[in-house]
Each structure stands twice: as structure tokens, then as C-alpha cells.
Structure 1
């Protein structure tokens, strides 16, 4: 993108809506995304920081009047400057507190969407982080009313789980003029922020109101950073900030801006959903659409519902992706048809495994394995079609070869050269030569034996006519020849059946190996999902432990005890989740095995029937030899 586009706007009814053109851009982004949102009061210079993150002087509108320039949420997607195969998505939000807005909840919804969509949230303010600045961040206290974690227990407060998936929080203080000192000691910007968020002791209404937004910030955002920016230039030049050369800007301001960008690039993680699912550009578009539609309908966005809806969308896409991978590989082979079954089965196995890996890479919470089953069934259906195409190509090739090899015989037959004394022996010699040349040139074609069997049956009609015309043959010799021909036909029929049997055994072995690889991939995928869930919980517990330690040091024993209970609850949930996921894995593996066993049972039944047919043919052949 060479410039930002509007992602979320307001329609004529005043409701939030997602712009289709922005969704189309996100749909094309298959890489993971790092999403950085900036929020804050209007006219505080948010857009300038976002332009710098994009590596541009201009892009997001800066504005130079008291009117809020940015409306809704604007998006700019650029390649991440330090993370390979990753896209940086910058979201510049409408300024909070604009007097022109009619809906008092509008700002809260914008703030809520910024939190839900981003992996790093930049809060931009001016002056200092005093009580007024913290109170201006009232939206954080309303998040429990605007975001649900679980769809069940609507009245339950699950805000303690926000820490698991909320973004990194960066407070950018613009036009900062104070010295970073507390009690006459130099402090860092981060220490300044934590000092500003320090709780007061007491239970009075004023203390509770003072502590509430600070507690919310501490509880919900596990990682907090602060940057203090001096004014970039003189007041008279502020209106044309985006046009100024770096030399016209404060060196200290540029230094802090550079440090800010470096930290965002280095520390901002890839956006992840609850349970650790990595979000791509396409998934981000779906998320934005779901959240905005939910808010516009008057409902509250729910993390669990978002995960379930995203799983359905991504798993359906994963099935298509896996099938596309399989078909793309197999379609190239059709140009080389006919192939030996062994070669075709080997390629089928390779592309089937590749398709499964592609599916696993894109899929998410396929808890009962229904989407993997769908991919498996579609691949098997396509393979049957490729087998059929290959057999038809083999049949045509074998028939063309026999037609070419038997052309001289046909010409001789039409001239009547076989319908004379000794013609039968000459006919048999021609036929044997054709068989020898055919067998040497078919190179284990899948339909070679069947086509030869059909050819010999057709030639047996010519053979009878030639024998009748051959005066040299006695009736006894004719009967002997007839017996020999039956034996040859039966032998060829047995060979054709045995070839089918061999091909079936090859298919069974291929299916066994594919199933083994599928099971391995399923276990690997589930182990990875369990690992991500545990990491999510461990990060949350680590954050809670830091908060608990800080509360104890400052004498908030009751709050520290509550924190201990939250930590134990996280541990319990983690253990339960791992147990549940392991049960899901066992069930998925069991169901996959059942499908495999059913397929193998069908093949084994075909195998048994063919074996019985071959045995009967061999018995007939032995009986015919005894009679002879």
C-alpha cells in the first residue's frame, strides 16, 4: 500500500461499518501481521507517529486545525522492517473526545476496537501523566462492559483473562516539559509511568475513583512502556509538521521518535487470538468485520465467539488451500499420463502429505477433525479421478500399440494368406510375435494385461475361422489347438487379475503410509496448540506475579491475596485445557484410524474376492491341463 485507506467508517445511520475495499486488501495478505494501533484525544499528533512507523513523512492525515482530521479507523499495511515474512498493519484511530460526535458511546467503541485488533496499543496524550490524563483514559474502565471473554455466564466478570490476549501498552506523552525526577532522583520514562499509575491506600469514594482506571491499566495490559516527547518544533511551524525537513525538528524529539520506532519494531509481537492462534491479514479482516458487525447490532464482542467464528472461516479456507496444493501438483502429472501405478501412487502420497501440512499450517481448532476429514475425502475423490484418467490413457496407449503391432497380421488376414494349408501355424507365429513385442514395450502399463486379454479374445474368433480353413489340420489337432487357446486365454485372464491384485496391494500400502503421516501431523498440530495455550497462560501468570509482588511491596495485602487466587485459577484452567485438548487429540486420532480401517477393510474385501477368483481360475487351469 502506498497510502492509508479507511478500514472502519460510520454509515449514514451513525453505525460503524467496515469498508469492503480495505477487506479486499487484507484478504490478499497471507503472512502474519503485527498490528499497531494509536488512540488518544484528538489533535494530539497521533498520525505523525504512525507515519514514522510506516517509514514515511506523509500518509495519515495530520491536520492543522482544531477539527479532528481522522474519522473512524484508517489502515496502512507495509512490509515489516525487521521481521521477515511479516506485515506491519498500522491503525490510526479517530481522535477521542471530539465535541462534534453525537453518540457518547462512539469513542468507547473506537477504543474497544483498537484494543481487540492490535498487538500493540499506543495511547497518545499531551503534557504530563497526571490524574486528569489518567481520567481521560476512562475508556479502559469500560472494557469489561464492551468485551466479553466467554459467551456463557453473561453476568460473570472474566476481565482477569484480558491479560492473556490484550496488546502491549505504550503511553506516548507529547510536548512533555517536565524533568524526569521523583523525590529528586532521576527516573526512566517507564518508572515515571508506573509512578503515575501508583495506587492510593484507603477505601473512600475518592480513593476508589482514583485507583479504578489505574488498576484497570495494570490488570489488563501485561506489558507497559512510556515515551516522553519534547515539542518537535516551534509553535508557528506545528501546522506544517509533515512538510518540515528533519533539520527543522528538535534533535531530542527525533531521537525519542527513533527509539519509539525501534521498540515498536523489535518488541511488538505478531497479533494472536485467544488460545494463541497467529493472525494473518486475511484473518484480521474477518476479525474486524465480526467485531464491527457485533457492535453495530448492539451486542458485545465476545472473544470465544470470535475464536469459534474464525476457526470456521480459517478451517474452510485451510481445506481449500490443502486441496489446491494437492490438485496443483497432481494436475502437472496428467500431462505425462499414462504413468506406472507405483509412480502415480508415490506422487499422490507426496502431494497428499504436502496438502495435509498446508492444511495444518492454516487450520485452527479443528477440534473434532471434521475439516481434516473433509480434506481427506476430497483428496481421495480426486485421486480416484486421476487413477481413472491414468487408466484411460494407459488403455488408449496399449490399444494403439496393439493396433500398430497387429497391422501386418490384419493385412495378411485380409489377403487370405492364413486361410490355406499351414495358415494356422503361421497365424500363431504372428500372434506370438505380437505378444512378445507388446510385452517388451508396455513397460508395466496399468492396463497392459487387461488390454492384451481383450485382444486375445478378439483374435480367438479369427483363429477358429483359420483352423477351419486349414486342410492340413486333423480334427484331433483342431481340438488340441482349441484346448491350448483356452489355456492361453485363461492364463492371460489370471495375469490380468493378478496385476489388479498387485495394484490393489500398492494402493493399500500407499494409504497406510499416508495415514501414518496424517496421524503424525495431527499430533504435531495439537501439541503446538497446547504449547501456545500454555505459553499464553504462563505469560499471564508472570504478569500477575509481578503485579502481586508490587502490591505486596506497597502494602496492598488484600489485593495481593486476590491476585494469588487469580494465579491459581489460571493454573487450574491451564491444566484443564491441556487435559481437554489431549482428549480431543485422542478422539481425533481414533476417528481418523476408524476411517482408515474402514477404507482398508473395503480394500481387503476386494483383495479377498480377487484372490478367490484367481484361485478358481488356477483350479480350472490345472483341471484343463489334466484333461489335456
Structure 2
């Protein structure tokens, strides 16, 4: 993908899927690492995503107070270290955009970023103080997640006491969490000791002890972040350049950026590349771009219908589509392999059976590798039925091909004998012996012919039955001819003898 494309458009608070982007995802068979970035608008999210894409341009940067990114934009880039997977970068619409005037769409953008990503980057500016933590919930984005996302279809209304409401189930699918603090100017120091960025984040998320509404409010978001995102990482970025150059950030050469900013950016990108996992679903199934496309369609359709996205339902809907596609592809795989054998028809029954079993095994294995939640064996049974029906037809076609070949061969081999019968070649004394010689030669040539298939003996048997009357007729004719010839010869002998006797008698007189 040469440049980003809008994946989910936000038009006046209504989300819609870009079919062109979905079609692109549907064509991706690679494992995918999905990295999404969220945060308040105009905090430099797009610039950071361009860094991950190893490009100066791509996601639109804004040099004014207006937000440039609307909805969610996608950019597929090659993974720099792992050829078997691709990185899908998701740049999201800034939260809290005053021009939008629609906080609900902010919440859905945030929820979709979590649902779709394997690594979620939260981008903020300044410091991680109470205000920054609270900005993670201008509409309680984090604390309302249990109201925006359901894990189980059977779950009722969420509450703080529910297993789902407490967030324990969410950890199974929530992405890795990376907090990026931009334009950071403070010293990383705590109680007079140097600390790193991760320690800075964990200290900022520490819960206060005590009771009361103020303490409860203070702890609420922190507690959600700690529970929902057990894997956390933090990076603090200094200003990349002077204030007057900030509006031209995408045009600056690396040497024009501060060395500390460039070094932090390099470390950040390397961490994302090395530590971002492939996107999976509940149960640990690895997603492809095609599967992600199905999920996006389901999530957005659910949101637009006024309902809450449910992971279980979305996965089941995706599983139906995936299993159907896996079934068809596995069946096509079987047919393609058997077409190679079919081109050789007729073949021996054992050869056909052996290839059928091998192809069936490979096809079934391919289906099982790709199928999702086919626990009742519905689709595997359908596949087995389709293969059985196709195989039965193949066996019949192989028999037909064998029968056709054998009949054609016998017609060819018996043509000379048929001609001889018509011409009376065997209608002479000793004709039957000649006929038998020709018949034996025909049989020898027929049996010597290779690859006659499964009907060779059956067709020959039928041929011999059809020729038996002809053979008997020639035999009977030969017997009659032989007896008649003996009678004529005896008459000749008798006549000759009588002539000889007469001659002798005449000679005496």
C-alpha cells in the first residue's frame, strides 16, 4: 500500500466502512500486527505513525488547530524484520475535537481502536499528571469500555460486580498498551532518584489509599488502565524542533530534529516492531487481513444499529464466513489435485483410491487449519459430503473411461477378423484353426495394451460372449467342409480304382 486509505469514515457522527479498504484487507493472507494510535486531537499522532511507516509523508499532518484525520485511516506496511507478517497502522480521529461536537463518536473510535489493534498507542502531550489521566476519559473512554464492548453474548447489563464488568474478561483480548508523552520537558526523577519512563508511568497510575468520592474518582481510571492493560510501556519525547519549525515538522530532515527526539523515536519504533504481537481473537486464533475485514464490517454494522459490539457474536459471524470460505477453498484444493489424476483416466482402481485418500487428507487438514469454532463439525461434515459425492462421480467417470477405451481397443484389434468373416476367409476347410490363431493373437495384443483401467476384464468377457456364436458357427462349418472333402476324395479314389480295373481288364483282352 503506497499511502494510507480511509478505513472507517466518521461523517457527522455516523460511522461507515470504506469498501475499498475492506477489499484490500480481504486480499491479505499474511499474519497481521495491528498498531492503532489514539489521543486528543492535534497532539502529533499522525507524525508518529509516519515514523512507524518509515516515511516522511503518508498520514496527513495538520499545522493548524484543525484536526486533519477523520474516522480511522489505515496503512499497510511491510514488517521490517518478519517477512511472514504485515503491519497495519491505524491513525484515528483525535478525541475531544471541538468542531465535532459529538463525544459519542469519540467513544466508538476509542472502542474500535481497542477491538482492532494488537498494540494500542495512547498519545498525549506534556506530562502524565492527573489532568492527562483524566483526559483519557473525556467521556470516560476507559471506564465506559464495559458499556461499549461485550465479551459474551449471554452477558446481561454490565455492572461493577459482574465478571465482565470488572474487566477480567477484557484482558483476554485487549492490546498491549504504549503511552507516548510528547513535548516532555521535565526531569525523570522521583524522590531524588533517576527513574525511567516506565517507572514514571507506573508511578502516575498508583492508586491513592483512603475513601471518599475524590479518591474514588482519582482511582477509577487508573484502576481501569491497570486492569485492562496489564502489559504497559511508556516513552517520553522531548520537543522535536523549535516552536517556529513545528508547523513544518513533516518537511524537516532528521538532522534538523533534536538528537534526543530522534533517538527516542528510533527506540520507540524498534520497540513497536519487536514487541507488537500478531492480532488474535479469543482462543488465540491468529487473524489474517481477510478475517479482520469481516470483524470491522460486523463491529461497524452493530454500532450503527444502536447495539453494543459483542466479541463472541462478531467472532461467530466471522467464523461462519471463514468456515464457508475455508470449506470452498478446501474443496477446490481437493478437486484441483484430483483433476491431475482425472487427466490420466482410465487408471487402476487402487491408484485412484490412493490419490483420493491423499487429497482428501490434505484438503481436510487445510480446512481444519483455517476453520474457526466448527465445534459441532457442521462444516467439516459438509466438506466430507462434497468430497464423497465428487469422488463417487470420479470413480464412475473412471469406469466409463475404461469401458470406452477397452471397447475401442477391441474394435480396432478385431477389425481384420471381422473383415475376414465377411470375405469368407474362414469358410474353407481348416478355417476354424486359422480363426483360432487370429483370435489368440487378438487376445495377446489386448492383454499387452497398458492402462486399460478397471473395466478391462469385464469388457473382454462381454466381447468374448458376443463372439462365441461366431466362433461356433465357423467351427461347425469347418467340420462339415472337412467331412464333405473326405467323401469327394473317396469317390475320386473309387472312380480311379474302377478306371484302373477297367484298364487292366482291357489290357488282358
TM-score (norm 1): 0.73
Aligned pair partner of 1:150 in 149, 152, 156? 152
Q: Name the residue aligned to 1:51.
A: 50
Match status 1:456 vs 2:458? no
Aligned pair partner of 1:188 in 192, 196, 218? 196
The DSSP-based 3-state class of the residue aligned with 2:178 is strand
Shift of residue 406 of structure 1? 1.4
Q: Name the residue aligned to 2:494.
A: none
Q: Name the residue aligned to 2:9.
A: 9
Q: Name the residue aligned to 1:586.
A: none
Aligned pair partner of 1:174 in 172, 182, 187? 182
Shift of residue 391 of structure 1? 2.2
1:43 and 1:68 in contact (8 A); partners too: yes
Q: Name the residue aligned to 2:33.
A: 34
Shift of residue 428 of structure 1? 2.6
Q: What's the CA shift string for 1:578-616, capped at 9, x where partnerless?
A: xxxxxxxxxxxxxxxxxxxxxxxxxxxxxxxxxxxxxxx
Provide the C-alpha distance between the structure 2 equivalents of 1:430 and 1:344, rounded to a whole number of angstroms.
35
Match status 1:337 vs 2:339? no
RMSD: 1.7
Shift of residue 470 of structure 1? 3.0
Aligned pair partner of 1:270 in 275, 278, 281? 278
Larger Rg: 2
Evaluate the alpha carbon distance shift between residue 66 and residue 408 of structure 1 in structure 2; reply closer, same or farther with a 3 A threshold. Answer: same
Q: Which 10-residue stretch deviates more, 200-209 or 402-411?
A: 402-411
Stretches of structure 1 that go unaligned for 5 or more consecutive residues are 476-628
2:428 and 2:481 in contact (8 A); partners too: no
Q: Which 10-residue stretch deviates more, 462-471 or 390-399?
A: 462-471
Provide the C-alpha distance between the structure 2 equivalents of 1:81 and 1:393, rounded to a whole number of angstroms.
54
Q: How does 1:159-558 map to 2 (within 5 A)?
A: 159-443=167-451, 445-472=453-480
2:35 and 2:119 in contact (8 A); partners too: yes
The DSSP-based 3-state class of the residue aligned with 2:82 is coil
Q: Name the residue aligned to 1:111.
A: 110
Aligned pair partner of 1:140 in 115, 118, 142? 142
Provide the C-alpha distance between the structure 2 equivalents of 1:267 and 1:404, rounded to a whole number of angstroms.
73
Provide the C-alpha distance between the structure 2 equivalents of 1:395 and 1:240, rounded to a whole number of angstroms.
80
Shift of residue 460 of structure 1? 2.2
2:346 and 2:452 in contact (8 A); partners too: no
Q: Name the residue aligned to 1:80.
A: 79
Shift of residue 473 of structure 1? 7.6
Shift of residue 384 of structure 1? 1.8
Q: What's the CA shift string for 1:450-498, capped at 9, x where partnerless?
A: 21122112212422443453344899xxxxxxxxxxxxxxxxxxxxxxx
The DSSP-based 3-state class of the residue aligned with 1:338 is coil
Q: Name the residue aligned to 2:90.
A: 91
Shift of residue 408 of structure 1? 1.6
Provide the C-alpha distance between the structure 2 equivalents of 1:433 and 1:443, rounded to a whole number of angstroms.
19
1:422 and 1:472 in contact (8 A); partners too: no
The DSSP-based 3-state class of the residue aligned with 1:160 is coil
Shift of residue 345 of structure 1? 1.9
The DSSP-based 3-state class of the residue aligned with 2:103 is coil
Shift of residue 289 of structure 1? 0.7
Provide the C-alpha distance between the structure 1 equivalents of 2:92 and 2:13, rounded to a whole number of angstroms.
17
Provide the C-alpha distance between the structure 1 equivalents of 2:58 and 2:3, rounded to a whole number of angstroms.
6
1:3 and 1:76 in contact (8 A); partners too: yes
Provide the C-alpha distance between the structure 2 equivalents of 1:84 and 1:205, rounded to a whole number of angstroms.
52
- When you count helix as a share of all residues, which structure comes out higher? 1
1:442 and 1:448 in contact (8 A); partners too: no
1:38 and 1:91 in contact (8 A); partners too: yes
1:7 and 1:18 in contact (8 A); partners too: yes
1:398 and 1:442 in contact (8 A); partners too: no
Shift of residue 175 of structure 1? 0.5
Shift of residue 241 of structure 1? 1.3
Q: What's the CA shift string for 1:478-535, capped at 9, x where partnerless?
A: xxxxxxxxxxxxxxxxxxxxxxxxxxxxxxxxxxxxxxxxxxxxxxxxxxxxxxxxxx
Shift of residue 32 of structure 1? 1.4
Provide the C-alpha distance between the structure 2 equivalents of 1:117 and 1:474, rounded to a whole number of angstroms.
98
TM-score (norm 2): 0.90
The DSSP-based 3-state class of the residue aligned with 2:112 is helix
Stretches of structure 2 that go unaligned for 5 or more consecutive residues are 484-509
Provide the C-alpha distance between the structure 2 equivalents of 1:165 and 1:122, rounded to a whole number of angstroms.
16
Q: Which 10-residue stretch deviates more, 330-339 or 225-234?
A: 330-339
Q: What's the CA shift string for 1:359-414, capped at 9, x where partnerless?
A: 11111111111111111111112222222232222223222222222122122122
Shift of residue 304 of structure 1? 1.3
Shift of residue 75 of structure 1? 0.5
Report the number of matched residues.
474
Shift of residue 338 of structure 1? 2.0
Q: Name the residue aligned to 1:598.
A: none
Evaluate the alpha carbon distance shift between residue 14 and residue 473 of structure 1 in structure 2; reply closer, same or farther with a 3 A threshold. Answer: farther
Provide the C-alpha distance between the structure 1 equivalents of 2:480 and 2:248, rounded to a whole number of angstroms.
114
Provide the C-alpha distance between the structure 2 equivalents of 1:55 and 1:357, rounded to a whole number of angstroms.
39
Shift of residue 231 of structure 1? 1.0
Provide the C-alpha distance between the structure 2 equivalents of 1:123 and 1:375, rounded to a whole number of angstroms.
45
Provide the C-alpha distance between the structure 2 equivalents of 1:369 and 1:281, rounded to a whole number of angstroms.
25
2:13 and 2:105 in contact (8 A); partners too: no
Q: What's the CA shift string for 1:68-110, capped at 9, x where partnerless?
A: 0001000111222222311111100001110111322010000
Q: What's the CA shift string for 1:137-194, capped at 9, x where partnerless?
A: 0111110110111111312430221111100000000000001001111011000000
Evaluate the alpha carbon distance shift between residue 103 and residue 423 of structure 1 in structure 2; reply closer, same or farther with a 3 A threshold. Answer: same
